[in-house]
Amino acid sequence: MFVLLSLILGLELSQSATKIGTHLNYRVNRIVNVRGVELKQKNVFQTGLDGLTASLRKQTDVPVKLYVSPDAPLKVTINRSGQIQAITGYVFGHRKKGGNVSYLINYPAAHGEKMTIERSRTGVSAKNMRRQNLLAPFFKLMRTEQLAQTVTAQNYRSYDIFYGGASELNTEQSLVDLNAADSDSSSSVSGNWQYNVAVYAEGQTDVPLVRFYDSALKVSPPQKSATEQRTAGLGQNEVQFFRNAHDGYRLKSVNAALGTYYYELRTTNNGGKNWQILNDDPFHGEGGVALAVKFLSPSLGFIGIMQNAGTSSKLYRTSDGGHTFKQVTYPVHKVKVGQEETAIFIAPEMPVKTKNGLQMKVGQGEQGDYQGGRAQAVYRSTDQGETWQFVKISEK
């Protein structure tokens, strides 16, 4: 009995200590990382967002350069008189002695009229800390008579203003250039990247009432990463392969009907910046869904296509760099399923080089369930993939 009571008391003490520790950690975090500051100069028609700037600077460790995320824009809600009703969103930057840091802005706070600014050092991505995502242009764009004119001309009680940095503009966005004498200059900027703010009627996020930008605030499109550049324009049921950082091949769909796709083979020699047609019909008129493309050298390559709702496939080989292709056949290997010998290996993977030639694994396709779908037929070629011999069955 004494042992049982000790265990129960020990458990209760442990749970109490956990609760106290959790509460203490929460309180410490609030003390160290959360600031409540007065938001002064609350009318954007009169002072823009100077009040927000001043409040941010009350955080003594706020970096000089702050950024926003295009995926989670900063949101400011105002009424028809220009009075700030709410501010929500993240800004972030890099401190020399503190690394990357973000600030969650929330106004009004849950208990009172103060604005809370909560600092965090976790989950801050450096990829958005680039010129296109600077916060500073937002303040410049908000100091404008056109904003007041737009809002007062509408019959809504409040308005949501979003800023996510610079983005590509188009003529369907009700654009207004704050730097132009003639505000109807959207046609000349279509397709350009500009810092801009979008003004919506509160609660409506489909189409903005207007999108302000200043053509004097110059900004270039962000540079794509190597991965983004390579995959740009890669559509559904299209596949590609890069032999090195520069040379790539893509099976591009040019026509489709009822789940059957028809392809051309394209190539790039500059990492995906530009693509050219190499072969306009590599599958000789056959349609299906592309499995893969792979080149083992500048001349030797393979492409595969799945057909008949995933129940069969074909493999093609080129020895002249993709200008011409020939279908490759390999011995069908059947296994006993129930009382019958069945050809279940129907989905060839692209060949790989080995010390004895080439090796290719042929899987069961998406519907295969032989040995849990893990079994594959292994084939070998000693003549650069022109002919193939069955070797064994292996598991993935």
What does the pLDDT look like over 252-282, one tens digit per residue? Answer: 999 998 889 999 999 999 999 999 999 999 9
Q: Read off the DSSP letter of residue 351.
A: P
Token duo for residue 77: 């809600």
Mean per-residue pLDDT of the chain: 86
pLDDT at 3 over 50: no
- Tell me the CB-side half-sphere exposure of residue 190, using CA atoms within 13 A: 10
- Which DSSP string do the residues of 163-179 spell out, in sequence order? EEEEEE--TTS-EEETT
pLDDT at 2 over 70: no
Residue 15 dihedral angles phi and psi, to the nearest 5°: -65, -40
pLDDT at 112 over 70: no
So what's the pLDDT on residue 199?
94
204 contacts: CB under 8 Å, gap ≥ 6:
160
Query: 319, 322, 333, 320: which is closest to 385 by C-alpha?
Result: 319
pLDDT at 345 over 90: yes
| Residue 5 binned pLDDT confidence (cut-offs 50, 70, 90) | very low
Give 192-230 pLDDT, tens digit per residue: 899 999 999 988 888 899 999 998 898 988 887 888 889
Token duo for residue 328: 């490759």
pLDDT at 303 over 70: yes
Mean pLDDT value of segment 61-70: 88
In the chain, the percentage of residues whose pLDDT exceeds 90 is 52
Token duo for residue 267: 């190539």
Which sequence spans correspond to the domains of the chain? Answer: 33-222, 226-395
Mean pLDDT value of segment 87-110: 86
Is residue 250 within 8 Å of residue 271, measured between CB atoms?
no
Would you say domain 226-395 falls under CATH 2.115.10.20? yes
Higher confidence at residue 109 or residue 130?
130
Token duo for residue 251: 């099976």
pLDDT at 147 over 80: yes
Distances (CA, A) of 217 to 64, 114, 149, 172: 19, 32, 22, 21
pLDDT at 43 over 80: yes
| Residue 64 binned pLDDT confidence (cut-offs 50, 70, 90) | confident
Give 355-372 pLDDT, tens digit per residue: 999 999 999 877 778 888
CA distance 27 to 34: 10
Predicted TM-score (pTM) above 0.85 = no
So what's the pLDDT on residue 119?
86
Give 115-140 pLDDT, tens digit per residue: 888 888 776 777 778 999 999 999 99
So what's the pLDDT on residue 393?
93
